[in-house]
Amino acid sequence: MRRPCPFCEQETTSTECEHCGRNVTARRRKCKKCDKMSPHAEEICCHCRTAFGSELAWKIPLIIAMFVAAFILTIIVNIV
């Protein structure tokens, strides 16, 4: 059964694409710039070479801010 590879969009018959060599069943993510699929394990898009941002990029500063706020609140509650 021939089906298109989600990465290079060429027809393939196996789980490993004959054209790009990638596993067609591998986890993938959509590039925000070119809107095409790229392997999740790769750090840059295989089509437009745009670097993927970290999924934790906005979460880490938020966690630190919440920790600092909780620490300050604890000090204020213990003083009063």
Tokens for 8? Answer: 């290079």
- Reduced to 3 states, what is the DSSP secondary structure of residue 33? coil
The pTM for the full model equals: 0.51
Q: How is the chain split into domains, by residue range?
A: 3-79
pLDDT tens for each residue of 1-46: 788 888 888 888 888 888 888 888 888 888 889 988 888 888 898 8
Q: Dihedral of CA 21/25/29/30: which sign?
A: positive
